[in-house]
Amino acid sequence: MTNPTARRVTANLSLTLDGRYNGPGGPGDLGAIIPYATTEVARNHLTRIWENATTAVLGRLNAQGFLGFWPSVAGDENADPRDRGYAKWLVDAEKVVLSRTLTEAPWERTRVVDAPAADVVAELKRTGEGDILVNSSASVIKPLLAADLVDRLYLIVCPEIAGGGERLFEDGLPGSRWSVTHLETGDLGETAVVYDRVR
């Protein structure tokens, strides 16, 4: 019998200093995030997030957006090896896309699930091996934080204040304690930090 807590649930996201994953212009307003996405620290962090993961969980918007970008990187011999490693992992990994509107999977090795994120991830924890990575999808990370199902957070903190936009950590989350297991600061002031949930 598989240990129900054997699989770790991890999540990655880039945030501004004021805790936002987009700016006041909405989901496409990433002006405070993009300049830090391809730094040495960010690329090393990208490798860190997928090394132990066997399943990627995505929201619909990220699944569709990633599909338009990462498969071409996987086949690009001139791409940064860290980007290419992540891209190959993402293409080959088991993917679960949470969506109320998609009727068919946008990728190979992908299934679409219309169910609450906490239920889907709790079921994934009961089967298989390896980390479950909630891949840059705040719409999925938020309900998992609310259900206290996230075991590790991979964050890039960008040294800008967006002044508006959506926050990852909203009022009403259950209290929790975290320990820092990795911390690295880049030349532009961006910080890659890994937090593990203390249970």
Indicate if the pLDDT at residue 41 is higher than 80: yes
pLDDT in tens, 55-89: 999 999 989 888 889 999 999 999 999 999 999 99
Indicate if the pLDDT at residue 1 is higher than 70: no
For the whole model, what pTM was predicted? Answer: 0.93
Query: If you average pLDDT over every residue of the chain, what do you get?
Result: 94
Place of tokens 């903190």: 157
68: its two tokens: 């338009």
Q: What percent of the chain lies above the pLDDT cut of 90?
A: 88
Report domain 9-198's class: alpha beta
Residue 179's SS3 state is: strand
Indicate if the pLDDT at residue 173 is higher than 70: yes
Scanning the chain, the segments in alpha helix (DSSP H) are 40-50, 60-67, 70-74, 81-92, 117-125, 138-146
- Which pLDDT score is estimated for 2? 44
Sequence spans of domains, the chain: 9-198
Indicate if the pLDDT at residue 193 is higher than 60: yes
- Which pLDDT score is estimated for 67? 84
181: its two tokens: 């297991």
